């Protein structure tokens, strides 16, 4: 395996996700299999684990890593957004737990060659799924300055969005912007030195914004959160690990939704005008990795984990 991704907050994931050892669980973002391996170790012989991912290369690595356990693990190349279709095809109605780790894996950053990182000079692609959609280079070279500015602000709250968008449009008039390092240098030379962030590369937010747009990340999370409750048994749980405020805000809003009136399911009128929430947040505030984990794995520092439980049957 080229890169072994270190899974984030493993102990917390296991603690909250696995309610019964012989249940059915879904790792919706299997990556190279780090979380899945730990989940497998803790489910009973009758338990089942279904692993999804849209990254073809990650799926290949996960299959290698989990090959010895294929009797109780099913790995499918598909987005977590299509989890309902995958389960229906397998013949499963509801599951006991779903995990989403929304971060970019070490493999994707360091070995995929798709320009997720500005540290290396790679083709400016950023697609999680190499088999579909337009890459980051197409967005950078075709969007108007106004649309680029909007994208940078909405997806990353980049304060220099207008300046960066103008610089990109000016630079691409000389020739197409095709590599990650080329784009990073444009941004680095555009932002005045005295205003550049001290703790991160000035291109960080632009790369985040483009990756989110290319992979429709916020749209996909919203769709998943809408589907999720109907796919869980009563008492089933969903665990989501986010890495930036836009993702976390969507998850928090979905998990903390409440009606104005606290209606008990047992006291519902025959034709209720309001329905109690199907999900109950189990983490009042998002959980963060501990000091030791962040020290051992600096990429965990921005992780925030939220958990919700299916409260009653429809």
pLDDT at 4: 54
Distance between CA 109 and CA 116 in Å, rounded? Answer: 5
Half-sphere exposure of 209 (CA within 13 A, CB side): 24
Summarised one tens digit per residue, pLDDT across range 177-198 is: 999 999 999 999 999 888 888 8
Half-sphere exposure of 265 (CA within 13 A, CB side): 10
Q: Determine the number of helices (DSSP H) and then strands (DSSP E) in the chain.
A: 13, 7
Sign of the torsion formed by the C-alpha atoms of 204, 187, 124 and 113: negative
Which residues are 309's β-sheet partners?
237, 280
If 0-12 CB within 10 Å is exposed, 13-18 middle and 19+ buried, where does residue 236 land?
buried
Residues in the chain: 314
Contacts of 259 (CB under 8 A, 6+ apart): 274, 275, 276, 277
**Predicted model pTM:** 0.88
225 vs 312 pLDDT, higher one: 225
Please say if the pLDDT value at position 260 is more than 70.
no
List strands edge to edge, sheet with 48-53: 73-77, 48-53, 24-27, 95-101, 232-242, 304-310, 279-281
Summarised one tens digit per residue, pLDDT across range 77-87 is: 999 999 999 99
pLDDT at 275: 53
Spell out the domains of the chain, with CATH numbers in brackets: 10-107+218-310 (3.40.50.150), 113-215 (1.10.150.170)
Distance between CA 209 and CA 220 in Å, rounded? Answer: 15
Among 128-137, 252-261, 304-313, the minimum mean pLDDT is found in 252-261
């Amino acid at each position: 395996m080229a890169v072994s991704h270190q899974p984030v907050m493993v102990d917390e994931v296991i603690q909250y996700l696995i309610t019964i050892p012989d249940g059915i669980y879904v790792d919706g973002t299997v990556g190279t299999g780090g979380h899945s391996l730990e989940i497998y170790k803790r489910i009973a012989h009758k338990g089942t684990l279904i692993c999804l991912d849209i990254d073809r290369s990650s799926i290949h690595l996960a299959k290698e890593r989990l090959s010895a356990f294929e009797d109780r693990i099913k790995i499918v190349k598909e987005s977590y957004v299509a989890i309902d279709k995958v389960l229906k095809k397998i013949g499963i109605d509801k599951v006991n737990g779903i995990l989403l780790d929304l971060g970019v894996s070490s493999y994707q950053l360091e070995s995929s060659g798709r320009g997720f990182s500005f540290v290396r000079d790679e083709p400016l692609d950023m697609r999680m799924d190499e088999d579909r959609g337009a890459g980051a280079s197409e967005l950078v070279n075709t969007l108007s300055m106004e649309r680029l500015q909007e994208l940078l602000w909405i997806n990353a709250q980049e304060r220099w969005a207008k300046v960066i968008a103008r610089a990109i449009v000016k630079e691409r008039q000389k020739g197409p912007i095709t590599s990650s390092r080329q784009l990073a240098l444009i941004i680095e030379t555009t932002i005045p030195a005295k205003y550049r962030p001290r703790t991160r590369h000035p291109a960080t937010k632009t790369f985040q914004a483009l990756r989110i747009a290319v992979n429709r990340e916020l749209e996909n999370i919203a769709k998943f959160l809408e589907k999720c409750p109907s796919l869980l048994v009563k008492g089933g749980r969903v665990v989501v690990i986010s890495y930036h405020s836009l993702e976390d805000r969507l998850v928090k809003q979905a998990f903390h939704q409440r009606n104005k009136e606290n209606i008990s399911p047992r006291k519902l009128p025959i034709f209720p005008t309001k329905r109690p929430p199907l999900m109950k947040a189990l983490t009042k505030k998002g959980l963060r990795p501990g000091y030791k984990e962040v020290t051992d794995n600096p990429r965990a520092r921005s992780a925030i984990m939220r958990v919700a439980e299916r409260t009653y049957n429809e």
